[in-house]
Amino acid sequence: MEEIKGAIALIGYGLAAIGPGIGIGIVVGNAIQAMARQPEAANMARTTMFLGIAFTEALALIGFVLFFIA
């Protein structure tokens, strides 16, 4: 059987990136819908979208830190 090399932390980071990936997709998709329906509120939607992305991204970032710590 072939030997598998590498750090298990890499797999952990990969797993940690799944959830935020889906989450950011949902956030941005809904923000685009909001902007398309109400273009006059696009600025507010954009700011809120960046906030939502930033909070969702936090999970992936914790995974990224653990990758370096582990």
Give the interface with another protein as residue ranges (CB under 8 A): 47, 50-51, 53-54, 57-58, 61-62, 64-65
Nearer to another protein, 36 or 51 (CB): 51
The minimum distance between CB 8 and another protein, in angstroms, equals 18
Rounded to a whole number of angstroms, the minimum distance from the CB of residue 26 to another protein is: 18
CB-hemisphere CA count at 13 Å for 55? 7
Of 67, 32, 37, 38, the closest CA to residue 53 belongs to: 32
Q: CB neighbours of 26 closer than 8 A, spacing ≥ 6?
A: none
Please report how close the Cβ of residue 50 comes to another protein at its closest, in angstroms: 6
